[in-house]
Amino acid sequence: MKVLRALVILVLLTAVGVGGFAFWWLNRPLPLNAESVELSIDPGTPPREIAQAWVQAGVQASPVLLYEWFRWSGQARKIRAGSYEIDAGTTPVALLNKMVRGDETLAVVRLIEGWTFRQFRAELAKAEALKPTIATLTDEQVMAAVGATSDQLARSCRVTDRANKPVSVRAAIPQCSPMNAPAVVPASTTARIGK
């Protein structure tokens, strides 16, 4: 009987100790290698890899503890793909909430009305914060990937004859190409694009 009582007390003390450690760890700021740490999460990345990626990006914590927190919270499957940035003072609870809400870091790229498709691509390529997913594709492949047809492309072209008079859409089709197509964006629009 005394052994059973001692065993129950030991189990309770262990549970209180583990609970206390978990509460302390979840509510203390994560130590970082820099003032802020950024991470891009691709769609379908498992929570274990996300935890490991945060550690590799500069969070000084055990990837096992991070993963277990994601898993035991019940929200591991709700983590959204995107680009995230955390600063000093971010707790494990705040980190998970940020990823579940999809509170992503955004990059600003200015796309000007009248620019050609090629100019759009050049400006996007200059944006260091953006992931270059179409850099290896030709202009025609990009247009095909977004589902642009020759009619849509022709409607977005402004082609004039030598007298600087507009040419009909049908007559313009052979002269239009993705490289010459002006972008259909209002003047001085600031596009907010996720990393």
CATH number (domain holding residue 54) = 3.30.1490.480
Dist CA 55 CA 53 (whole Å): 5
Q: What was the pLDDT predicted at 192?
A: 41
Average pLDDT over residues 166-185: 43
What domain range is 127 assigned to?
A: 106-194
Q: What was the pLDDT predicted at 104?
A: 84
Residue at which a domain ends, from 74, 101, 128 = 101
Q: What was the pLDDT predicted at 91?
A: 93
- 67 and 138 in a single domain? The answer is no
Q: Which long-range contacts (CB under 8 A, 24 or more apart) does 120-126 make?
A: 120/183, 124/193
Cβ 142 vs Cβ 178: under 8 Å: yes
- 7 and 87 in a single domain? The answer is yes
Assigned token pair, 154: 């022709």
- 58 and 142 in a single domain? The answer is no
Residue at which a domain ends, from 84, 101, 118 = 101
> Whats the size of the chain, residue-wise?
195
- 122 and 161 in a single domain? The answer is yes
Closest to 190 measured CA to CA, from 116, 129, 118, 106: 106
- 13 and 59 in a single domain? The answer is yes
The pLDDT confidence band at residue 107, using thresholds 50, 70 and 90, is confident
- 94 and 160 in a single domain? The answer is no
- 92 and 131 in a single domain? The answer is no
User: At 163, is the secondary structure helix, strand, or coil?
Assistant: coil
- Residue 42 contacts by C-beta under 8 Å, 6 or more apart in sequence? 81
Residue at which a domain ends, from 101, 117, 141 = 101
- The per-residue pLDDT for range 29-73, each reduced to its tens digit, is 999 999 999 998 999 999 999 999 999 999 999 999 999 999 999
- 76 and 112 in a single domain? The answer is no
How many separate domains does the chain show? 2
Q: What was the pLDDT predicted at 156?
A: 52
Burial (0-12, 13-18, 19+ Cβ within 10 Å), 128: exposed
- 26 and 78 in a single domain? The answer is yes
Q: Which of 76-80, 106-110, 142-146, 161-165 has the lowest mean pLDDT?
A: 161-165
- 137 and 79 in a single domain? The answer is no
Cβ 76 vs Cβ 98: under 8 Å: no
Residue with more model confidence, 114 or 101: 101
Q: What was the pLDDT predicted at 84?
A: 92
Q: What was the pLDDT predicted at 137?
A: 81
Dist CA 78 CA 26 (whole Å): 19
Please state the φ and ψ torsions of residue 148, each to the nearest 5 degrees: -75, 135
pTM, two decimal places: 0.60
- The per-residue pLDDT for range 130-157, each reduced to its tens digit, is 777 777 888 777 777 777 765 555 555 4
- 135 and 112 in a single domain? The answer is yes
